[in-house]
């Protein structure tokens, strides 16, 4: 099957911005996501050139700058953009495409770096192909690459989300060029530019996943405590069993139902939220990869730390997420910690130091906007 270059009629510029996200929020394994005020930003410019080939030039600042590949056939963001283009029988435009990546989302820490990169990649393909994809279609593409709707929907839509994947029909999964994976393994398959005759990926089915947005009280401050080591999501998923005792599943379902409403119920009830953020299906199993995890999430409570609402592993870890009530506190600006948030961040830091683990803690806000693609005229 053949393809042709995406249009490159004149100079164009875009900015793509995607938030970090925390998945699971305790009992909502693979379900809940919370978009956070750290961002992956792409500044993209397309300049037509007299050359017959496309030249995609990546540059990188911020988190992952030393690790992320700058080859567009190897970098996750541009590989996803290429998947979107090829599914429309397009490839990169015959132009100079400059992609300046500035990343505030640390890799492999449970803050949704891969989901942010995948969503950014879909939006990059959308911009370069002039495809004008709806938000639902962007979600379909992103969910064919990263099969965790929790991070993807929060990163794409912002706020506090709950989501599920539709069971795809065998026929929707059949074409071998579908890059369905935990995190896109190798795409294009030969890790080089596509050549005529390559099998091209089909466009994804519609409604691959569905989501809702819950309320999230403005009085809740978010503290993330980020250890200085990575845990690959694939490895953290490998630590989980294939089946669970019924009482553990019921334990999580009961808390999940209560948690989703309790984070927007006024007044906030720390006793209910703390208990509703407990988990039995992924956190205890990941303790071996994250020393000190159980000690921290089980011993820090609203009684020991006034203002603490709930505490859990963020995504697949190793970051810990703590929700703190700022009720009655003077309003603080983005990224500023209230005294209660500072006390919780420092307490987690001290507990982790007992295990020889160094961390950085951050006071964050919920990102209500989600991913944006803006063209500059």
Ligand X SMILES: Nc1ncnc2c1ncn2[C@@H]1O[C@H](COP(=O)(O)OP(=O)(O)OP(=O)(O)O)[C@@H](O)[C@H]1O
- The angle subtended at Cα 211 by Cα 207 and Cα 212, nearest 5°, is 145
Q: Select from 12, 148, 211, 278 the one that contacts ligand HSE (CB under 6 A).
A: 148
- Tell me if 233 contacts ligand X by CB under 6 A: yes
- Tell me if 270 contacts ligand X by CB under 6 A: no
Q: What would the two tokens of residue 183 be?
A: 């995190």
* Residue 68 interacting entry, from ligand X, ligand HSE, none, C-beta within 5 to 8 Å by type: ligand X
Q: Select from 19, 28, 33, 110 the one that contacts ligand X (CB under 6 A).
A: 110
Q: Which is nearer to ligand X, 76 or 347 (CB)?
A: 76
Residue list 218-237, contact with ligand HSE (CB under 6 A)? 233, 236-237
Residue 208: half-sphere exposure toward Cβ, Cα within 13 Å: 23
- Tell me if 19 contacts ligand HSE by CB under 6 A: no
Q: Is the dihedral of CA 65, 138, 377, 4 positive or negative?
A: positive
The length of the chain, given as a count of residues: 377
- Tell me if 160 contacts ligand HSE by CB under 6 A: no
Helix (H, G, I), strand (E, B) or coil at 72: coil
Closest by CA to 156, choosing from 170, 146, 168, is 146
| Residue nearest to ligand X according to CB distances in the complex | 315
Smallest separation, CB 304 to ligand HSE (Å): 26
- Tell me if 20 contacts ligand HSE by CB under 6 A: no
Smallest separation, CB 37 to ligand HSE (Å): 19
Give yes or no for a contact between 320 and 344, defined as CB atoms under 8 angstroms apart.
no
Q: Select from 6, 40, 56, 222 the one that contacts ligand X (CB under 6 A).
A: 40
- Tell me if 201 contacts ligand HSE by CB under 6 A: no
Helix (H, G, I), strand (E, B) or coil at 325: strand
Give Cα 76 to chain centroid, integer Å: 13
Smallest separation, CB 275 to ligand HSE (Å): 20
Smallest separation, CB 52 to ligand X (Å): 28
- Tell me if 104 contacts ligand X by CB under 6 A: no
Q: Select from 35, 145, 316, 324 the one that contacts ligand HSE (CB under 6 A).
A: 316
* Residue 150 interacting entry, from ligand X, ligand HSE, none, C-beta within 5 to 8 Å by type: ligand HSE
Give Cα 279 to chain centroid, integer Å: 20
- The angle subtended at Cα 157 by Cα 341 and Cα 123, nearest 5°, is 120
- Tell me if 214 contacts ligand X by CB under 6 A: no
Helix (H, G, I), strand (E, B) or coil at 244: coil
Between CA 19 and CA 35 the distance in angstroms is: 6
Name the one range near ligand X by CB under 6 A: 68-76, 275-283, 290-298, 355-363.
68-76
Smallest separation, CB 238 to ligand HSE (Å): 10
- Tell me if 345 contacts ligand X by CB under 6 A: no
- Tell me if 318 contacts ligand X by CB under 6 A: no
Residues 6+ apart with CB under 8 A from 189: 177, 198
Smallest separation, CB 146 to ligand X (Å): 8
Q: Which is nearer to ligand X, 107 or 251 (CB)?
A: 107
Residue 246: half-sphere exposure toward Cβ, Cα within 13 Å: 0
Name the one range near ligand HSE by CB under 6 A: 23-31, 95-103, 213-221, 318-326.
23-31
Between CA 199 and CA 194 the distance in angstroms is: 9
Residue list 14-33, contact with ligand X (CB under 6 A)? 23
State the Rg of the chain over Cα. 21
- Tell me if 109 contacts ligand HSE by CB under 6 A: no
- The angle subtended at Cα 361 by Cα 290 and Cα 303, nearest 5°, is 80
Residue list 149-178, contact with ligand X (CB under 6 A)? 151
Mapping DSSP onto H, E and C, the string for 216-259 reads CCCCEEEEEEEECCCCCHHHHHHCCCCCCCHHHHHHHHHHHHHH
Helix (H, G, I), strand (E, B) or coil at 348: helix
**What angle in degrees, to the nearest 10, is found between the helix axes of 135-145 and 76-87?**
120
Judged by the rule CB under 6 A, the positions of this chain that interact with ligand X are: 23, 40, 64, 68, 75-77, 103, 107-115, 117, 151, 183, 232-233, 315-316
Judged by the rule CB under 6 A, the positions of this chain that interact with ligand HSE are: 23-24, 29-30, 148, 150-151, 233, 236-237, 282, 315-316
């Amino acid at each position: 099957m053949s393809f042709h270059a995406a249009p490159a009629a004149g100079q164009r510029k875009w900015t793509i911005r995607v938030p970090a996200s925390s998945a699971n929020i305790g009992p909502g394994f693979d379900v809940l996501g919370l978009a956070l005020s750290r961002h992956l930003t792409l500044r993209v410019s397309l300049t037509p050139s007299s050359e017959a080939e496309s030249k995609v030039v990546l540059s990188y600042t911020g988190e992952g700058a030393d690790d992320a590949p700058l080859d567009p056939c190897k970098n996750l963001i541009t590989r996803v953009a290429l998947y979107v283009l090829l599914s429309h029988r397009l490839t990169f435009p015959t132009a100079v495409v400059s992609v300046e990546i500035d990343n505030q989302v640390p890799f492999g820490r449970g803050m949704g770096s891969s989901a942010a990169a995948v969503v950014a990649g879909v939006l990059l393909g959308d911009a370069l192909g002039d495809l004008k994809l709806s938000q639902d279609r962007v979600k379909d593409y992103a969910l064919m690459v990263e099969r965790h709707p929790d991070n993807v929907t929060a990163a794409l839509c912002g706020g506090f989300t709950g989501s599920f994947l539709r069971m795809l029909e065998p026929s929707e999964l059949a074409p071998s060029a579908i890059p369905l994976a935990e995190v896109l393994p190798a795409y294009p398959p030969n890790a080089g530019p596509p050549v005529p005759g390559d099998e091209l990926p089909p466009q994804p089915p519609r409604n691959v996943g569905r989501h809702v947005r819950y309320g999230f009280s403005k009085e809740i401050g978010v503290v993330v405590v980020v250890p200085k080591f990575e845990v690959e999501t694939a490895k953290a998923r490998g630590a989980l069993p294939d089946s669970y005792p019924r009482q553990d599943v019921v334990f999580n379902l009961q808390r999940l139902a209560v948690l989703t409403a309790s984070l927007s119920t006024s007044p906030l009830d720390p006793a209910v939220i703390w208990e509703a953020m407990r988990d039995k299906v992924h956190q205890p199993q990941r303790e071996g990869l994250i020393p000190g995890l159980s000690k921290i999430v089980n011993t820090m409570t609203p009684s020991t730390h006034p203002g603490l609402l709930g505490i859990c592993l963020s995504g697949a870890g190793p970051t810990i997420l703590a929700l703190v009530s700022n009720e009655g506190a003077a309003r603080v600006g983005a990224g500023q910690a209230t005294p209660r948030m500072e006390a919780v961040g420092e307490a987690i830091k001290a507990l982790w130091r007992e295990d020889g683990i160094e961390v950085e803690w951050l006071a964050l806000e919920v990102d209500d906007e989600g991913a944006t693609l803006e063209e500059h005229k």
